[in-house]
């Protein structure tokens, strides 16, 4: 697709950057990827996102757009001729936005809390909250998908991108702590969705392999230990 100038500032291992990559691919939008160094943030990042100083940043005709959920909505609205990302029905769109916020503000932070929790009791308490959150997501998927393959229906949509972009890191935690987060015995519908999502041609070359992310995670842990000593 012929597009105006589109650039994406980010790092390959970021699930929030991966979201934008998936959306651009769905819309067949060609873009330039600018690699950021989060240990030594560039002037470009600090200038284009002075509020949060985070990636991703999408530059559309040199104008910066920040925050992954905002960027996904911008891409959907700015290129309406491609496949829709958000639902067309206003109610369905509101529901999708609600659950996207839940995933980013409630569900995924619990996984981070689990990794930071110290001691068996603390981890067990977080696991209990994670189980409750997982059941809510399972129920949401069944209701929103209406028996189809994805949250977005027959193909990947907004909520699929939001949750699916986190799967690589979810699998890292499963590998590192020898546990199962998306347990097929408790979340059969989402476990099947997980497999379908990861095998889809739209995402399988974008979501990093867990083995590569494990290396990134170990470096992060070692760096964290070094700074705390």
| CA 99/CA 138 separation, integer angstroms | 12
Say what the pLDDT of residue 3 is.
53
CATH class of the structural domain 6-78? alpha beta
Distance CA 113, CA 118 (A): 10
pLDDT class for 186, splitting at 50, 70, 90? very high
CATH domain 90-213 topology: Glutathione S-transferase Yfyf (Class Pi); Chain A, domain 2 (1.20.1050)
pLDDT at 196: 97
Kindly state the average pLDDT of the residues 62-86. Answer: 97
Residue 229: the pLDDT is 62
CB atoms within 10 A of CB 223: 11
What mean pLDDT is predicted for residues 189-209?
A: 95
The pLDDT mean for the chain works out to: 95
Give the pLDDT of residue 77. Answer: 97
Q: What is the pLDDT of residue 2?
A: 44
**pLDDT tens-place string over residues 82-135:** 899 999 999 999 999 999 999 999 999 999 999 999 999 999 999 999 999 999
Edge-to-edge, what's the strand order for the sheet holding 63-66? 32-35, 6-10, 57-60, 63-66
What is the average per-residue pLDDT within 193-209? 95
Any idea where the domains of the chain sit in the sequence?
A: 6-78, 90-213
């Amino acid at each position: 697709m012929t597009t105006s100038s589109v650039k994406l500032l980010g790092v390959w291992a970021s699930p929030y950057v991966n979201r934008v990559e998936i959306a651009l691919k769905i819309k067949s939008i060609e873009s330039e990827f600018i690699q950021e160094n989060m240990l030594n943030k560039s002037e470009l990042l600090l200038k284009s996102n002075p509020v949060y100083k985070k990636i991703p940043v999408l530059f559309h005709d040199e104008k910066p757009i920040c925050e992954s959920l905002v960027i996904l909505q911008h891409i959907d609205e700015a290129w309406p001729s491609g496949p829709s990302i958000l639902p067309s029905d206003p109610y369905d769109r509101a529901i999708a936005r609600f659950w996207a916020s839940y995933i980013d503000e409630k569900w995924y932070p619990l996984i981070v809390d689990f990794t930071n929790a110290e001691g068996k009791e603390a981890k067990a308490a977080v696991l209990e909250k994670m189980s409750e959150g997982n059941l809510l997501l399972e129920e949401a998927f069944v209701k929103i998908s209406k028996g189809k393959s994805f949250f977005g229906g027959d193909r990947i949509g907004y909520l699929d991108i939001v949750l699916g972009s986190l799967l690589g890191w979810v699998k890292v935690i499963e590998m590192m702590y020898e546990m199962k987060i998306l347990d097929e015995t408790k979340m059969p519908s989402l476990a099947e969705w997980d497999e379908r999502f990861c095998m889809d041609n739209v995402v399988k070359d974008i979501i990093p392999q867990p083995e590569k992310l494990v290396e990134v995670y170990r470096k992060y842990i070692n760096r964290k230990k070094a700074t705390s000593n």
